[in-house]
Copies of this chain bind each other. A is one copy, B any other.
Amino acid sequence: MPPSDDAAPSAAAALIRLREEMERPPYHWFLKPRPEAVDADTGAVTITLPFRPEFRRSPSEPGYHGGVIASLIDLAGHAAVALRIGRMAPTIDLRIDYMRAAGNGDLRATAKVRRAGRTTALADVEIMDCDGKVIAVGRGTFSTFAG
| Chain A interface residues (CB < 8 Å from chain B) | 24-31, 53-59, 65-68, 70-72, 74-75, 78, 90-100, 114-115, 118-120, 122, 124, 134, 137, 139, 141, 143, 145
Select one of B55, B57, B92 contacting A97, CB under 8 A. Answer: B92
What 9 A-B pairs are tightest by C-beta distance, nearest first? A67-B71, A27-B65, A70-B70, A119-B119, A26-B56, A66-B74, A95-B95, A93-B97, A25-B57
In the complex, the chain B residue whose C-beta lies closest to that of A25 is: B57
List, sorted by A's number, 29 A–B pairs whose CB atoms are closer than 8 Å.
A24-B58, A25-B56, A25-B57, A25-B65, A26-B53, A26-B55, A26-B58, A27-B67, A27-B68, A30-B30, A65-B71, A65-B74, A66-B71, A66-B91, A67-B67, A67-B70, A67-B72, A68-B71, A71-B71, A91-B96, A91-B98, A92-B97, A92-B120, A93-B95, A93-B96, A94-B98, A95-B95, A119-B145, A141-B141
In the complex, the chain B residue whose C-beta lies closest to that of A134 is: B114
Copies in the complex: 4
Asked whether, in the complex, the Cβ of B99 is within 8 Å of the Cβ of A27, the reply is no
Asked whether, in the complex, the Cβ of B94 is within 8 Å of the Cβ of A66, the reply is yes
Contacts of A137 in B (CB 8 A): 114, 122, 124, 139
